[in-house]
Amino acid sequence: MKKRWISLFVENDIGVLAKISGLFSGKAYNLNSLTVGETEDPTVSRMTISLTSDDLTFEQIKKQLNRSVEVIKVVDYTDIPIHKKELMFIKAGNLSVEECEEIFRIAEVFRVRIKDYGKNTVILECLQTENRNSDLMRLLADRFGNRIEVVRGGSVAIEAVSMSER
Amino acid sequence: MEKTEIGIEGNSAGMQDTGRNGGEIKGAELFVKALIEEGVQTLFAYPGGMAIDLFDALYGQSELDVVLPRHEQALVHEADGYARSTGKTGVCLVTSGPGATNLVTGIATANYDSVPLVCFTGQVPTNLIGNDAFQEVDIVGITRSICKYAVTVRDRKDLGRIIKEAFYIAASGKPGPVVVDIPKDIQQEFGSSEYPKEVNIRGYKPNTGIHAGQLKKAMGILNKAKRPVLLCGGGVKISGAGALLTRFAEKTGIPVITTIMGKGCIPSSHPLYVGNIGMHGNYASNQAVSECDVLFSIGTRFNDRITGKISEFAPHASIIHVDVDPASISRNIKVDVPIVGDAKAALQLMLSEAERLQLEEWVQKIGDWKQKYPIRMGQQDQNQDQNQNHRSNGKQTLTPERILRSINTMFPKSIVVTDVGQNQLWTTQYLELDENRQLLTSGGLGTMGYGFPAAIGAKIGNPDTDVICISGDGGMQMNLQEMATAMALELPIIICVMNNGYLGNVRQWQEMFYNRRYSSTCLCYRKSCKRDCLNPDKCCPKYLPDYVKLAKSYEAKGIRVESGEDIEAALTAARENKSGPTLIEFIIERETNVLPIVPGGNALSDMIMEA
């Protein structure tokens, strides 16, 4: 079992997302995250899919994606250098002054922005890798319990130009 | 372009033609034009509110026949039988909602056996989609995972392109069903009369070539083999590569084994043909695959009925797999040499590399197995004859093997269509196939109720060939209503119902693996019967329906056969009846089993040969 990345170019049509997600559920493939958005060509959408699987299943997933009429191109990002980022917002509420200050310190350490700030509420905008966002989320969940609210977008990824770091 | 105005003349009684600019036609008219340009000769169609405009455009035109079945499920099986037997694309037209959902089983059936179909469904007008309108269902959503492609037409200007693409996708590459959902307002809207000549779908480029390097590598392995076998699936038949395969086998001397979908790609009487593999394959085939050193497989998906226990499948073999669908390769069985490509293209290349191999010993060994463990009910025939002699008049027992032997000798040029269950398995075991006799069967999905309507479709496509439907008494009841269709079209189909009063295949499993607990499998059962009755024959109520009377109520011919001597007379009478279908009800022994059998999950070498 290994974590994999796929960049998928699909027709920007009604039902294509359902087709792709239906393929994963219907064939019992595991899916970590799936993001989708329009590209510079408005007829094409691009998905970034991350999943965990063994080699055999992963080969099968790529083939199944490829044979879908709506899929234009499947690119396997698993073993090539890529840049990947995920957007996460965390809202923490009901904070005391000390807690607010603590969150500011945490933001500094994690290099995330304070996006919004009210009397006793703070919103963090976190643009980091999925793992780093998970770390931050767990830290704040431990610290502030049900006073935080999280929304995550899933990773997007693009092939690197000059670097080999992942 | 003369054809653009088809269907307009004389049909506009109540329909306003406002909105028509010069040369523009309605969506429904473009639909008809598209069918004609695609060369569609037969349309299987059942009308309804959201398809009425399409039917209106079909009214009075003479270039294609519109067949009206009595149920949409039968309709799609008919289109399927038509497509399998002719090689053309089967075309369906139904209305929205229940019309569309009734297609679902047939679409899945065609999808599993790679049958090219284009299914048009009416849909509520685009502005009502999502409103829970009367007879609205999201048929594209429902069928997405059981068809090759499904699409709703949302703009009149896309209609021509979408239909063109649908026909292309259905028939190319690995064929399959395509669903085209057309909302009512698109059917009525005026627009271009243009039907495109060419298709360009950027996400769909079926494999036409073949990787010569991979094939060379495979041939290198094959030419060194000591105990090779060829395993052929339905793909060989779909690509029309049977003759090439036979030549390849003859040139190399390699024995051929088939799946039930592949049976007939080499004449079943050919000395190099071993038999079917799998759960109900013969001993020699299963043993040969278990002992071979190279398994050269073409056009099979290695499903569980073929492989038995995966870890013990062909344990000593290098496996080569040719398939047009990359996703079929290394899915169930890990393959050593994968080759993506069409079976015909592959075999053409293979022939040029083929060498005569020294396989006498291996072929002899397989021949010995075949002789030692033939698939025969012969012994059973005699035992049953003796049993029956005690009971009655010394007549021959009516066994499935005897029925099929008669069909083999009496109908050399024919299309045999089976239903699903024991009737299907006996047929695939005993029916002799060559280029003159064709077998249609729902091998992948195993759809009961498939046989009779598919036979109707086959007869429509092949009016000059004898078409024989072999069904059980259970499956026959799933699409009985099509007696009316067959009669209305005056189709002389021979329907052989093997009646044992049971859902026999499940009953056989209950007998063998579930302690003879016949749960819900007896079709003679009535409320007054004992719930745990284990004594068929003794005190059974009369079977329902009376098939002979039923045939007669449709003004068809009905014959009941109860002993072996009467098989040929009944088949002769059926062959002579040209006015409509003949239903022959064969009353077979109630607890007859299909043997041999590899119990589910066992290795292929672990077969039960006798009861």
Please report the number of interchain residue pairs, chain A to chain B, with beta-carbon separation below 8 angstroms. Answer: 43
Cα separation, B447 vs B331, in Å, equals: 24
Nearest CA in chain A to B165: A69
Q: Is residue B605 part of a domain?
A: no
Does B11 have pLDDT greater than 50? no
Q: Among partner residues A15, A22, A63, which is closest to B327 by beta-carbon distance?
A: A63
Residue A104 C-alpha, separation from nearest chain B C-alpha, in angstroms: 47
Does B493 have pLDDT greater than 60? yes
Task: With beta carbons under 8 A apart, name residues in chain A contacting B152.
Answer: 14-15
Q: What pTM was computed for the model?
A: 0.94
Task: With beta carbons under 8 A apart, name residues in chain A contacting B150.
Answer: 15
For A83-159, the fitting CATH number among 3.40.50.970, 3.40.718.10, 3.40.50.2000, 3.30.70.1150 is 3.30.70.1150
Do residues B352 and B417 share a domain? no
Q: Among partner residues B152, B202, B325, which is closest to A67 by beta-carbon distance?
A: B325
Residue B53 C-alpha, separation from nearest chain A C-alpha, in angstroms: 25
CB pair distance less than 8 Å for A69 and B145: no
Do residues B27 and B72 share a domain? yes
Nearest CA in chain A to B147: A68
Query: CB–CB of B321/B330 below 8 Å?
Result: yes
From B323, B355, B372, the end of a domain falls on B372
pLDDT in tens, B131-164: 999 999 999 999 999 999 999 999 999 999 999 9
Buried b (16+ CB within 10 A) or exposed e, B492-529: bbbbbbbbbbbbbbbbbebbeeeeeebeebbbbbeeee
Nearest to B361 by CA among B291, B305, B439: B291
Do residues B552 and B412 share a domain? yes
B572: containing domain: 378-587
Q: Is residue B82 part of a domain?
A: yes
Handedness of CA B405, B411, B415, B417 (dihedral sign): negative
Q: Is residue B599 part of a domain?
A: no
Cα separation, B89 vs B82, in Å, equals: 8
Contacts of B599 (CB under 8 A, 6+ apart): B512, B513, B606, B608
Identity of residue A163: M
Residue B331 C-alpha, separation from nearest chain A C-alpha, in angstroms: 7
pLDDT in tens, B320-362: 999 999 999 999 999 999 999 999 999 999 999 999 999 999 9
CB pair distance less than 8 Å for A68 and B203: yes
Task: With beta carbons under 8 A apart, name residues in chain A contacting B202.
Answer: 72
Task: With beta carbons under 8 A apart, name residues in chain B contacting A18.
Answer: 141, 144
Nearest to A23 by CA among A2, A37, A44, A6: A6
Do residues B325 and B396 share a domain? no
Do residues B418 and B319 share a domain? no
pLDDT in tens, B393-434: 667 889 999 999 999 999 999 999 999 999 999 999 999 999
Nearest to B255 by CA among B278, B232, B279: B232
- On the 0-12 / 13-18 / 19+ scale of CB atoms within 10 A, A52 is middle
Q: Is residue B238 part of a domain?
A: yes
Residue A56 C-alpha, separation from nearest chain B C-alpha, in angstroms: 8
Cα separation, B308 vs B278, in Å, equals: 7
CB pair distance less than 8 Å for A11 and B204: no
CB pair distance less than 8 Å for A68 and B331: no
CB pair distance less than 8 Å for B330 and A59: yes
CB pair distance less than 8 Å for A69 and B201: yes
In eight-state DSSP terms, residue B566 is G
CB atoms within 10 A of CB B131: 10
Nearest to B210 by CA among B339, B330, B29: B339
Task: With beta carbons under 8 A apart, name residues in chain B contacting A22.
Answer: 144-145
Q: Tell me the sheet residues that pair with A8.
A: A47, A74
Does B455 have pLDDT greater than 90? yes
CATH of region A2-80: 3.30.70.260
Do residues B170 and B258 share a domain? no
pLDDT at B382: 60
CB pair distance less than 8 Å for B327 and A67: yes
Q: Is residue B608 part of a domain?
A: no
CATH number at residue B134: 3.40.50.970
CB pair distance less than 8 Å for A72 and B203: yes
Q: Locate CATH 3.30.70.1150 in chain A.
A: 83-159
pLDDT at B5: 40
CATH number at residue B293: 3.40.50.1220
CB pair distance less than 8 Å for A72 and B169: no
Do residues B405 and B533 share a domain? yes
From B372, B407, B435, the end of a domain falls on B372
Q: Locate CATH 3.30.70.260 in chain A.
A: 2-80
Lowest mean pLDDT among B1-10, B24-33, B151-160, B296-305: B1-10
Best to test chain A binding among B123, B139, B151, B340 (most A CBs inside 10 Å): B151
Best to test chain A binding among B142, B145, B172, B334 (most A CBs inside 10 Å): B145
CB pair distance less than 8 Å for B144 and A18: yes
Do residues B174 and B27 share a domain? yes
Do residues B237 and B384 share a domain? no
Residue B108 C-alpha, separation from nearest chain A C-alpha, in angstroms: 14
Best to test chain B binding among A14, A63, A71, A75 (most B CBs inside 10 Å): A63
CB pair distance less than 8 Å for A23 and B140: no
So what's the ipTM on this one? 0.92
Do residues B367 and B398 share a domain? no
For chain B, the domain total comes to 3
pLDDT at A84: 94
Q: Among partner residues A22, A56, A64, which is closest to B327 by beta-carbon distance?
A: A64
Do residues B548 and B417 share a domain? yes
Query: CB–CB of B232/B257 below 8 Å?
Result: yes
What distance lies between CA B116 and its chain's CA centroid? 11
pLDDT in tens, A21-57: 999 999 999 999 999 999 999 999 999 999 999 999 9
